[in-house]
Amino acid sequence: MNDFTNYPITIALIAINIIVSLLAFNNQDIYSKTIMWPYGVKKYGQYYRFITSGFIHADYVHLFFNMFTLFFFGQVVEQYLKGFELGGTIAYLALYFLGLIASDIPTYLKQKDNYNYHCLGASGAVSAVVFAAIVFNPWGRIYLYGALGISSALYAVLYIVYCVMMSKRGGDNINHDAHLWGSLFGLGFTIALIAAIQPGLFEYILEQLKNPSLFGR
**Domain coordinates of the chain in residue numbers?**
4-209
pLDDT in tens, 2-53: 677 889 999 999 999 999 999 999 999 999 999 999 999 999 999 999 999 9
User: Which fold, 4-209?
Assistant: Rhomboid-like fold (1.20.1540)
* Strand-pair partners of 144: 148
Mean pLDDT for the stretch of residues 100-107: 96
pLDDT in tens, 106-156: 999 999 999 999 999 998 999 999 999 989 988 888 776 667 788 877 877
Mention every residue, 6+ apart, whose C-beta is less than 8 A from residue 95: 77, 81, 128, 129, 132, 186, 189, 190
Q: Could you give the C-alpha distances from 47 to 20, 35, 116, 182, 217, in angstroms and in order?
A: 18, 11, 17, 18, 42
Res 128: pLDDT: 96
